[in-house]
Amino acid sequence: MSTEHYTFALFIACLVSLVAILCRALFGSVKRRRRLYDEKEAKLMETFRLVESIMEEWNDQVKLSIDEMKELENRAARRLEKIMSRTLPLPDSAPIPPPPAEPIAIPATATPSKTKPAKPAEPIAESQTHSDPAPEKPTRTDTIVALAKDGKTIPQIARELAIAQNEVNLVIGLTANSNSYNS
């Protein structure tokens, strides 16, 4: 054999060695990556199992809490029934005191037909006849407007005149609206 054959054989051996080294480097890194991925997957699976077990414990605690709440609700209902059976029933419509109201501001253009404030109107008795009021007495509307201008609130005016608060509110609203249309 000649030196060319040995050189060629040496060249092939080097080439095969180089291919083996490259394959090992490439496939070795692939194996390392695969091993790392497997380890990461194992850690993720372990974390998933841990989270799953925590969620199961949480669900168990929630179920226990719901059961306890239902039991407490039932006990409270039984106690309420006992208390209600011992006490007298309350009337359906208990009077509720009205909330404090602020004074109503009437525009300066709202003037009653008679400017002098009048005494509070007496409630009309059923035995009284329905006759026209004397011209010197102010009307109920004039009285309401005058009291509102003095700074009294709707509940105060209603109490003083012994009329409903809605009526006082209506008269003040109509007076303010009619004056805004007239101006």
Q: Where are the domains of the chain?
A: 1-89, 102-117+137-183
What is the overall mean pLDDT for the chain?
79
What does the pLDDT look like over 1-45, one tens digit per residue? 688 888 888 899 999 999 888 888 777 777 788 889 999 999 999
| More confident: 180 or 64 | 64
Cα 175 from chain centroid?
38
What does the pLDDT look like over 85-141, one tens digit per residue? 876 555 555 555 555 566 666 655 545 544 455 555 555 555 455 555 556 688 889
What whole-number distance in Å separates Cα of residue 5 and Cα of residue 11? 10
Q: DSSP states of 153-176 as a string?
A: -HHHHHHHHT--HHHHHHHHHHHH
Cβ(123)–Cβ(162) under 8 Å? yes
Residue 87, CB-side half-sphere exposure with 13 Å CA sphere: 9
Cβ(175)–Cβ(145) under 8 Å? yes
